[in-house]
Structure 1
Amino acid sequence: MTTCRWSAHGRAPRPRRHRVTPHHRQTAAPALRARHPARSGPSRTRPDPLQFHYFPGGKDELHLAVARHEADRVIHDQQELSSLTSWAAWYQWRDKVVDRYRAQGTDCPLHAALSQLGTASDAASTVAGELLDQWQQQLAAGIRRMRDGDEIAHALDADREAAALLAGIQGGVLILLTTDRIAHLEAALDLGIAHLRAPGRRDR
């Protein structure tokens, strides 16, 4: 929690603002910009929000806000997830995922933000769990749409297929983060989609 200072005259405590130091600047910037969009005109003379921002929960709340912001970006950058209704759409989504992580390389903002929370902390587990659940649910919804359109065998379990595909993606991302090699991520996506297509294969 943030600390409070009592005045000499016994006035109510004023919570101190948590200072964003240079060490936190790179990680905190996206979330702070989201809360404080750029303004035009005279307001530009106001203090830089990256220097001081009020977080009642202190540094832990700051890191949690950044982690949630980065987790939201992962799904937002995959807008194709909501329209996986054809094989062309699936391959467009595949290319978007590969392009995103190729550009990112070993510098993962979400990983950095979760590291600030502590990988074993409840907050980190909650943020990561919510992200993976949402990701898997959208993949499963896409598989069901394809199954309803007779593009995928009805015997396939959408939830399990989505879980397996997501596990392959996460494994590929982990290898990319540690080796800067994207081939494993590409293979996981290509083979995962090929597996979905196999029982009722049609031209791309």
Structure 2
Amino acid sequence: MRALTPKGAATRQRIVEGAAKLIRDHGPANVGLDDIRAATATSKSQLFHYFPDGKADMLLAVAAHEAELVLDEQQPYLGDLTSWAQWEAWRDRVIARYAAQRRRCPLSALTAQLGLADPAVEGIITGMYSRWQAQIAAGVRAVRPDADAERVATQLIGAITGGATMLVATDDIRYLEIGLTEAIENLRRGAPGAGSSLR
């Protein structure tokens, strides 16, 4: 993407945020560029200035935006998992986020639309998971220095994403609530295997 002035970057971000809201509400397949132009009060020439390849560029930008939100909405707890109280607050924040969106997972919808075979999409998703795992692993090291932090972080993310998948399939938040709560409790107890995977 070409370098933007601060004003240009702000305008592009405003368009992306407006498009993201539309896509969350209606799904990527049901939102066109005309809808985005109307919702963001953007001219056609302005839209193509920031997104030269049209909807494909726009969806990619929205996917990157939504990936950032996945992590941003877990703060400040995700970045400060230094006590069990912070772990519990983080768990509650994660569950509340998914309970609010229920079956409407914008990032899943976007990746389904764009396809993970696209290297740009794959880069957005793998980058998000890498940063997510690193922050959880740092928290594991803070409260259980005897644990295999990377492995525990992988298990915790698996509990969240597995629960989120079941939420989309069944509209039942309990899979996420129980899976994440049990994973954290296992870590706290120092249970080998499913929890802290002690060395």
The two structures have a TM-score, normalised by structure 2, of: 0.71
Q: What is the total number of aligned residue pairs between the two structures?
A: 156
From the superposition, tell whether residues 67 and 195 of structure 1 become closer, same or farther in structure 2 (CA, over 3 Å).
same
From the superposition, tell whether residues 25 and 172 of structure 1 become closer, same or farther in structure 2 (CA, over 3 Å).
closer
From the superposition, tell whether residues 180 and 58 of structure 1 become closer, same or farther in structure 2 (CA, over 3 Å).
same
1:110 matches 2:101: no
**Residue 170 of structure 1 aligns with which residue?**
161
For residue 41 of structure 2, the aligned residue among 48, 57, 71 is 48
Distance 2:43 2:71 in 1: 25
Distance 2:163 2:99 in 1: 11
The two structures have a TM-score, normalised by structure 1, of: 0.69
1:24: Cα distance to partner?
9.0
Contact 1:25 1:50 in 2 (8 A): no
**Residue 34 of structure 2 aligns with which residue?**
none
For residue 66 of structure 2, the aligned residue among 67, 70, 73 is 70
Q: Please list every run of at least 4 consecutive aligned residues from structure 1 whose deviation after the TM superposition is greater than 3 angstroms.
A: none
Contact 1:107 1:177 in 2 (8 A): yes
- Decide which structure has the larger Cα Rg and report it: 1
Contact 2:80 2:139 in 1 (8 A): yes
Distance 1:168 1:107 in 2: 19
Contact 2:81 2:142 in 1 (8 A): yes
Q: Deviations over 1:20-71 (max 9, x none)?
A: 9xx9982299xxxxxxxxxxxxxxxxx8028651212332211110000000
Distance 1:25 1:107 in 2: 12
SS in structure 1 of the partner of residue 130 of structure 2: helix
Report the RMSD for the aligned CA atoms in angstroms. Answer: 2.6
**Residue 9 of structure 1 aligns with which residue?**
none
**Residue 32 of structure 2 aligns with which residue?**
none
| Structure 1 portions without partners, runs of 5+ | 1-19, 30-46, 149-153
From the superposition, tell whether residues 93 and 115 of structure 1 become closer, same or farther in structure 2 (CA, over 3 Å).
same
